[in-house]
Structure 1
Amino acid sequence: MTNGEVFVWELLGTATLILLGVGVVANVTLRRSLGRGGGWLLISFGWGFAVFTGASVSAPSGAHLNPAVTLGLAVAGRLDWDRVPVYVAAQLLGAIVGATLGWLVYKLQFDTHDDPSGTRGIFCTAPTVPGWPWNLLTEVVATLVLVVWILLSPAARAGEQGVPQFGNSALGYAAVAFVVVAIGASLGGPTGYAINPARDLGPRIVYALAPIRGKGGAEWGYAWVPVVGPLVGGALAGLLYLALPTPA
């Protein structure tokens, strides 16, 4: 597959992921939305199934959807390093496109929401208790769980270099969705579990630029945590993969 083809499929998949992820949080948060008050469980399941949908769309490129996954595969020797910038650029652009579409879908609800200053959480993450070293650790550990699972999954090991083959039948990519739901339900409380630099940075950029009435700041002082934490977690997962015995 050419770099251009990788870019297109990865962009489409990531845009789908972020559109549905931003959408479920908007549905739960915005006052004049049918999902108002749906709670953390609905958000966790929404993001999980968003991963399933986005991964299914971008199956031809391997459905990384996440710079931390791409980095983990490269560190593990499962992806050529010269492919990494292609994947990451597509993921970030796809996240920007998906977040923009999510805002447009809920434009009227944003315009009539009773707390526009509190809408940043629809787009990006923030800690419930600020403490950057601990917030960073949370993102590292949560991402480590995700990327280790991807690297050690028998289905992923069966794929060619850089292209985990989970397929689209039975559990298929739904297995990844279950892992994301589990991470959200178990480890998502402290920081909102970005576990994906593009997932947080792309929508944060959109929030900063979108003309949302009465919105608050984008909190750029925290924005490095959901970027650096997942990248560290992904790299550690790749190193752990190299250190473990090769499965039979």
Structure 2
Amino acid sequence: MSSTAVPPAPGRGLYGSDLSASAARTGTAELVGTAVLVFVGTATACHGRLGVAVGGGYEVLTVALAFGLVLVALVAALGHVSGCHLNPAITLGLAATGRFPWRQVPVYLAAQVLGAVLGALATWATLGGAAREEAQLAVTTVGDTVPGGRAVLVEALVTFVLVLVVVSVATDERVHSAAAPAAVGFALAAAILVAAPLTGGAVNPARSLGPALVAGELAHLWVYVLGPVAGGVLAALLYDRVLARAEPPA
């Protein structure tokens, strides 16, 4: 006997969040969540750049795990409040498929960017002036040998992976809710591991914008907006239009 995808209940967002909740509450959750995500990830990356970590510095694996693990915790803590997007690519992808109201998009995007700025400021305050002057607050940068077009493609592909996992585990009721936080966190860590040597592995326009604005390092920002947004929207559309409607074999 086959079964079809069960769409989320009307008015429900990611992880069962209430789309009719007040903008103040959901916006605050997005702001705080993005700030924590950026703070933990960039502080960890700055440890490596400054060589202050025990053992002589952190490797890319450590940074990827820091971002992934804190996202697991944040999804579990805030998913039911705002949907824990924490990423404009996720917000815009969901809006493009009708799973998130366009009227709420400006609030979420503003909260995510402001949260990322606050997260970068927290890294600066925690690690001191060297974090900004020497480590540039772990701003994502395109490798010297990576053309701009390829950098956009890399960011689009890895964000596609993340958003595909998010919309799958957080909107399809066939997926057990307990699996969602770990799946999303692992997807982010894997995406960063792939992209970090090439583009820094932003996988999130806000994650790039926040530290860049605070550090004053604004080069290549178009890569970290265009690539993730394109990959996120494509992933959301693919799942909504094709995969969510598929029937498993009888």
Q: Could you tell me how far apart the structure 2 residues matched to 1:30 and 1:166 are? A: 41
Q: After superposition, where does 1:48-197 map in structure 2 within 5 Å?
A: 48-59=68-79, 60-107=81-128, 110=131, 116-117=133-134, 119-120=135-136, 122-128=137-143, 129-153=145-169, 155-158=170-173, 171-197=179-205
Contact 1:12 1:58 (8 Å CA) reproduced: no
Equivalent position of 1:243 in the other structure: 241
Unaligned stretches of 5+ residues in structure 1: 160-164, 209-217
CA-to-aligned-CA distance 1:204-236 (integer Å, 9 cap, x gap): 10112xxxxxxxxx1x23111111111111111
Contact 2:92 2:233 (8 Å CA) reproduced: yes
TM-score, normalization: structure 1?
0.82
Query: What secondary structure sits across from 2:189 in the alignment?
Result: helix
Contact 2:191 2:203 (8 Å CA) reproduced: no
Q: In proportion to residue count, which structure has more helix?
A: 2
Query: What secondary structure sits across from 1:134 in the alignment?
Result: helix
> Shift of the alpha carbon at 1:39?
0.8
Q: Could you tell me how far apart the structure 2 residues matched to 1:187 and 1:98 are? A: 22
- How many correspondences in the alignment? 224
Q: Could you tell me how far apart the structure 1 residues matched to 2:39 and 2:72 are? A: 13
Contact 1:9 1:61 (8 Å CA) reproduced: yes
Q: Which amino acid aligns with 1:130?
A: V
Contact 1:30 1:36 (8 Å CA) reproduced: no
C-alpha change, 1:73 and 1:33, in structure 2 (3 Å) is same
Query: What secondary structure sits across from 1:34 in the alignment?
Result: coil
Q: Which amino acid aligns with 1:64?
A: H
TM-score, normalization: structure 2?
0.82
Query: What secondary structure sits across from 1:58 in the alignment?
Result: helix
C-alpha change, 1:174 and 1:36, in structure 2 (3 Å) is farther
Contact 1:125 1:194 (8 Å CA) reproduced: yes
Unaligned stretches of 5+ residues in structure 2: 1-20
C-alpha change, 1:32 and 1:100, in structure 2 (3 Å) is same
> Shift of the alpha carbon at 1:157?
1.8
Equivalent position of 1:222 in the other structure: 220
Sequence identity percentage: 34
CA RMSD, 1 decimal? 2.2
